[in-house]
């Protein structure tokens, strides 16, 4: 089964992608992991990506797609994979479709984890992290025993820059402009499945598995 995950930042698509990969015993293919692996291994595409990343520029689509196609042509992907973080735009989705078609291949399902902006803003702006041990909390859903202090190591908890309300709003605006059109793209392809992401993670996973079966 070849699956692509869609959803706004903070919708929980990464968590569900990992769960699906375990359930189907297929690789969880994250673009972030691919970038890191290519840069670490000093591949030609990795070095190209690093040039752009070092300048703070976006890595061009052809470099990203090149790395992705290399990854999904590895033996562990022969029975399928879960794509997480790619495609993010219509041109990327079209390039991926073209590349897969040329190999006589195609995606089976696009799963969209649907969560309203207001819920995402509450989820993300309530997150707190311990920079010392990496533990994460939420002021409403998983608060620490003592406010502002990590249960594990007693260090101070902070709100990451990514989780500040103004940053969350900006990330959501980018998502609606660039990535949300993918929902219509995959609907037209006839492979879109929508899941309510406002439920508990275990209930979302149940709904995802029902959509995939």
Token couple for 9: 């930042």
Residue 127 annotated in active site:
yes
Catalytic residue among 2, 13, 48, 123: 13
Residue 13 annotated in active site:
yes
Catalytic residue among 98, 106, 160, 169: 160
Token couple for 58: 């976006």
Catalytic residue among 48, 88, 123, 128: 88
Alpha-carbon torsion angle 126, 131, 132, 136, nearest 10: 30
Q: Cα separations (Å) of 11 from 66, 109, 197, 200?
A: 27, 18, 6, 11
Phi, psi of 18 (to 5 degrees): -65, -45
DSSP-assigned beta bridge partners for residue 193: 111
Alpha helices for 81-156 (secondary structure H): 90-102, 117-125
Phi, psi of 44 (to 5 degrees): -60, -45
Residue 88 annotated in active site:
yes
Residue 50 annotated in active site:
no
Token couple for 178: 């660039």
Q: Cα separations (Å) of 159 from 11, 66, 125, 131?
A: 18, 35, 8, 10
Catalytic residue among 50, 97, 171, 193: 171
Of 130, 202, 137, 128, nearest to 162 by C-alpha is 128
Catalytic residue among 2, 71, 123, 127: 127
Q: For the chain, what is the radius of gyration of the CA atoms?
A: 18
Which residues are tagged catalytic? 13, 88, 127, 160, 171
């Amino acid at each position: 089964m070849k699956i692509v995950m869609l959803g706004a930042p903070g919708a929980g698509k990464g968590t569900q992608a990992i769960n699906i990969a375990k359930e189907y015993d297929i690789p969880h293919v994250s673009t972030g992991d691919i970038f890191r692996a290519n840069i670490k291994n000093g591949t030609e595409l990795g070095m190209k990506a690093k040039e752009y990343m070092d300048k703070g520029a976006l890595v061009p689509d052809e470099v990203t797609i090149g790395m992705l196609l290399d990854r999904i042509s590895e033996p562990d992907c022969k029975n399928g994979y879960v794509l997480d973080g790619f495609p993010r735009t219509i041109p990327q989705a079209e390039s991926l479709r073209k590349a897969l078609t040329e190999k006589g291949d195609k995606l089976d399902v696009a799963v969209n984890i649907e969560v309203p902006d207001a819920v995402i803003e509450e989820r993300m702006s309530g997150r707190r992290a311990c920079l010392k041990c990496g533990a994460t909390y939420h002021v409403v859903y998983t608060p620490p025993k003592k406010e502002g202090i990590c249960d594990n190591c007693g260090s101070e908890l902070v709100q990451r820059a990514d989780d500040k309300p103004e940053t969350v709003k900006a990330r959501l605006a980018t998502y609606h402009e660039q990535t949300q059109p993918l929902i219509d793209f995959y609907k037209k392809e006839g492979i879109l499945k929508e899941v309510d992401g406002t439920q508990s993670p275990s209930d979302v996973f149940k709904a995802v598995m029902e959509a995939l079966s």
